[in-house]
Structure 1
Amino acid sequence: MVRSCERGIPSWVCVGTLLLLLHFHSVTVRGAALKQDGALDTVATVLNHSMGLVQRMESLLAQGNASDVTLRVQTINTDEVKVIQAHSLMLTLQSEVFEELLLSRNTSMVLLRETPECAAVFDKFIRYLYCGDISVRLDQAISLHKLASKYHVWALQQGLSQYMTQHLSSDSPTGHVIGWYNYALQIGDVTLRDSCLQYLSWNLTSVLQSREWISISEDLLLSLLQRSDLILQSELELYEALEAWMSQNQPVSMTVESALRAIRYGMIPPQHLFRLQKQSPLMVKHYESIRDLLYLTFQFHSASPIQLAKYINVNNCSIFTPRNYLSPSWGSPWLINNPTRDDRSFSFQSQLGPSGHDSSKRVTWNALFSPRWLPLSARSTYTELGTMQPTRTDGGRPRIIVTPATSSPDFAGVSFQKTVIVMARQQGKVVVRHVYNFHQSTEEAGDFLLEADLQRRSSEYLIDSSLYLHVVIKPLYQTLLVARK
């Protein structure tokens, strides 16, 4: 039976009347202000009492005053039941699913069955329907998102997706990014899925060192191993993390072989490969499945790339393609204090190539950063040596160029892909904010910091008013990639 509040009037009418009166009161106040201001020819003033209204709505839910529906939330596979006194008007205003449930009921009670995780946050979910705001913890995001999706509360669903995208770098005891990735994959949220995958790829070293790494699924593991944009210290670090994952998860042989063959052995120095052959239980056990790759790798390290290209075909072989390695052999960090002040430059060295034949050869690089300058195509200023210099302009954007300081016959057959990594602090943690890749034939990244406002001290691209960069040089043996027997 529907409850009444006074003289037999249904309670939902009372609640509706309350909301209408509050709205009429607000309109009356604003109307009076507008009328008075019209006489005085001044700008209207808005009196905002919305916070008080939210507090009254929260109190209405907490006390159950004039409620006309009882929600019995039963936790699946348990006897636990949570009872909430609610109001039909508030539920139907926010959720078409609740509207259908309430229209089809024949009593004042509605039975809802939820998983333990969703039942635990159901009070928060209902409060959002009354108040329009909600406090979210990392471990509650998926459960609340499930409830918002189930009951078609689209604004909350979208807000939770944005929350997860913006809190990938937050610290949590057991990790959350991999769980969010799996959930996004399950529900088909492409934006959240890609954001999680990018975060894992760009911050792989911290992921490998976390407890979350061991919980990664086989599909996600193989997906990451195929990527060339992974940012980590070295390929050896990735192999050792893979061995730890294998030891913990004991996957089937097909997964083991696929994962081992995705390691880029050509990027691991031969002295470390010799050690792995003898000391790595994983490699000893599955040596036959990767023997051809190891044989090719040792050939790669023992001869010059040009000589090797005469005898073997390595087309489509990823073991010769470097990832974004942060170790000193492949680049250098660059801290720029007060980046809007003036132009900066610095020099660093990288290994000519990953081949053991080139391990002792170094390339010296000059990097130039300017907060405001024109693109290369618009410059006409040259030094006496013929090198390009920045043309300062008030309308220019931040730019960076990376060029070799010298040329050498050793460069024959080698092309260099240059990557600039921008770090930032998010949720108290330093993470990769953006990655800029240079085309092999150009000196600069045209979209470098295109959306950054370096003039603003609170810019998300700055850490304590400084720009934290890491320049990575990825040598590619072009002759190897196109060679034929």
Structure 2
Amino acid sequence: MDYLLENGLLAQVYLPFLLLAGWSHVQPVHGGLRAEGLSEGTTEVISHSHGLVARLEGLLMLGYNSDISLRVETVDADEVKVIQAHTLVLSLQSRVFDEMLRKRNGSTLVLREMAERTAVFDKFIRYLYCGELSLQLDQATPLHNLATKYGISSLQQGLTQYMSHNLASVSLSAGHVVGWYHYATTVGDMVLRDNCLQFLSWNLSSVLQSAEWPSASVELLMTLLQRSDLVLKSELELFEALEIWLTQNNPESLTAENALRLVRYAMIPPHELFHLQRNSAIMKYYHESVRDLLYMSYQFHSASPLQLAKFFDVNCSLFVPRNYLSPMWGSQWIISNPARDDRSTSFQTQLGPSGFDSSKRVTWNALFSPRWLPLSLRPLYTEQGAMQPPRPDGGSGVGRPHIIITPATSSVDFAGVSFQKTVLISTKQQGKLVVRHVFSFHQSTEEVCDFLVDGDLQHRTSEHLVDGSLFLHIIVKPIYQTLIATKQ
């Protein structure tokens, strides 16, 4: 997929260069007239910047009045690229180039680059002249690396944005996000790193099935295993993926033990835990390292959680669910034409993750409104039925998307249990559904204040919709208050 990055270049920056290069008379190639006002003394702007950029590109392509040769040598290869350039342009755009040019001894500047960077070096230099470049997905990393190395912050930021917007642009079975995460960590691009980590966390099931999963570093593996916001089918799926990673990477024993201890075995039903102990080679080999966690998990499923807390110190993440897509934890909800009117749905979840509560169900009612008004913004009615203006303490009075999830009935069985609600919003990229937004709130009556606050629900082509429909997945995570003291 080709992509165009643009950076507006001011013509006056290059005017001295054009005069030195012999362009004493510049004809407008493309231009326009822009009025700044309509009153007397109106100021107008004549813009021929497109023509100026075209001439700059011509100078690069033809090497006209070039005063420096860039000799780009490929490390560990015989490939060499020679580019005729201009010191003024390079110095204006890059302090790194400016320093290198000041220290040079002749008219040739030798640069040594890896093969993937050499392949796109001409694109990189063209950006310095024209402020734009076209690229494909596999060129993003070497171009970003060049921008970082030579201090071209505008290009670096543009590529970070491009990569962040294309985390799902190719088949997830091939994968590239793990590689981009490792690259961003290496060069210190924390924006790209965090965006990759968020995508991996919210779409982990797809990543676990991809060819790049075994290439995840130990640091990335541990970071993911510690998170409670992972979106995946079940904890068993995570263990099986970890088993694949351990088998293919064969890390040192301490690394394997630490990773296995981050699995939340209490979230795996007892019959599946028995199966793992009997059939998993990894589990058999490291059984002593996780024996205490398995014991606590079996106890968790066989006794009342409130009773268990009297005998075990279980204030840990072992008993906190992640965002599981299994029906026992929530339900998918597809809303067609979401901007039309209010909608509602009902679904059931298990009361708690403990096997002790496996037969207990909670019925939930979900209400979605595309134009919800807070109480302070709703019109008031007098005793005679006359409508009064909204209260003055409100805002604009414009409704916004809103969702409320409440239990159908209150019950004494809820004692000691709090519920965290999570709403996933999926969109389609390259024919695949990916989670793009996650909203979480903890109490039944709490509003999700930022829910789709910038969402466009009016147009079928909106990035928040899939073929005109809003794809939601509601997850209810029961957390035993007496067991978990800290907010996860």
Instruction: Identify whether the pair has TM-score above 0.5, normalized to the shorter chain.
Output: yes
Q: 1:257 to 1:43 in 2, by over 3 A?
A: same
TM-aligned CA deviation for residue 480 of structure 1: 2.6
2:400 is aligned to 397
Q: CA RMSD in A?
A: 2.9
SS in 1 for 2:132: coil
1:4 is aligned to none
User: Aligned pair 1:462/2:465, yes or no?
Assistant: yes
> Which of the two has higher C-alpha Rg?
1
1:160 is aligned to 159
Q: 1:192 to 1:14 in 2, by over 3 A?
A: closer
Question: Is the Cα–Cα contact under 8 Å of residues 32 and 47 in structure 2 kept in the other structure?
Answer: no
Q: Percent identity of the aligned residues? A: 62
Q: How does 1:94-105 map to 2 (within 5 A)?
A: 94-105=93-104
Unmatched 5+ stretches in structure 2? 1-15, 381-389, 391-395
Unmatched 5+ stretches in structure 1? 1-11, 382-390
TM-score (norm 2): 0.86
Question: Is the Cα–Cα contact under 8 Å of residues 332 and 471 in structure 1 kept in the other structure?
Answer: yes
1:122 is aligned to 121
1:429 is aligned to 432
Q: Deviations over 1:226-263 (max 9, x none)?
A: 00000111101101110011111001111111111100
Amino acid at match of 1:186: T
Amino acid at match of 2:435: V
Q: Deviations over 1:289-313 (max 9, x none)?
A: 0001101111111112222222222
Q: 1:366 to 1:109 in 2, by over 3 A?
A: same
Q: 1:357 to 1:92 in 2, by over 3 A?
A: same
SS in 2 for 1:453: coil
CA distance in 2, matches of 1:190, 1:376: 40
2:371 is aligned to 372
CA distance in 2, matches of 1:211, 1:249: 14
Q: Deviations over 1:210-235 (max 9, x none)?
A: 11111100011011000000011110
TM-aligned CA deviation for residue 428 of structure 1: 4.5
Question: Is the Cα–Cα contact under 8 Å of residues 403 and 443 in structure 1 kept in the other structure?
Answer: no
Q: 1:19 to 1:330 in 2, by over 3 A?
A: farther
Which of 469, 473, 481 aligns to 2:476? It is: 473
Question: Is the Cα–Cα contact under 8 Å of residues 21 and 65 in structure 2 kept in the other structure?
Answer: no
TM-aligned CA deviation for residue 42 of structure 1: 11
Question: Is the Cα–Cα contact under 8 Å of residues 406 and 444 in structure 2 kept in the other structure?
Answer: no
Q: How does 1:304-343 map to 2 (within 5 A)?
A: 304-315=304-315, 317-343=316-342
1:451 is aligned to 454
TM-aligned CA deviation for residue 66 of structure 1: 2.9
TM-aligned CA deviation for residue 481 of structure 1: 3.0
2:89 is aligned to 90
CA distance in 2, matches of 1:482, 1:145: 44
Q: Does 325-334 or 366-375 show the bigger shift?
A: 366-375
1:240 is aligned to 240
CA distance in 1, matches of 2:361, 2:119: 59
Amino acid at match of 1:103: R
Q: Does 167-176 or 362-371 show the bigger shift?
A: 167-176
Between Structure 1 and Structure 2, which shows a larger proportion of helix residues?
1
Question: Is the Cα–Cα contact under 8 Å of residues 363 and 407 in structure 2 kept in the other structure?
Answer: yes
1:417 is aligned to 420
2:139 is aligned to 140
CA distance in 2, matches of 1:86, 1:207: 43
TM-aligned CA deviation for residue 174 of structure 1: 4.0
Q: 1:240 to 1:55 in 2, by over 3 A?
A: same
SS in 2 for 1:322: coil
TM-aligned CA deviation for residue 13 of structure 1: 7.1
SS in 2 for 1:340: coil
Which of 406, 409, 417 aligns to 1:406? It is: 409
Q: Does 116-125 or 244-253 show the bigger shift?
A: 116-125
User: Aligned pair 1:58/2:57, yes or no?
Assistant: yes
Q: How does 1:378-393 map to 2 (within 5 A)?
A: none
Amino acid at match of 1:305: P
User: Aligned pair 1:358/2:362, yes or no?
Assistant: no
2:7 is aligned to none
Amino acid at match of 1:69: I
Question: Is the Cα–Cα contact under 8 Å of residues 421 and 471 in structure 1 kept in the other structure?
Answer: yes
Q: 1:452 to 1:13 in 2, by over 3 A?
A: closer
CA distance in 2, matches of 1:410, 1:201: 32
Question: Is the Cα–Cα contact under 8 Å of residues 124 and 134 in structure 1 kept in the other structure?
Answer: yes
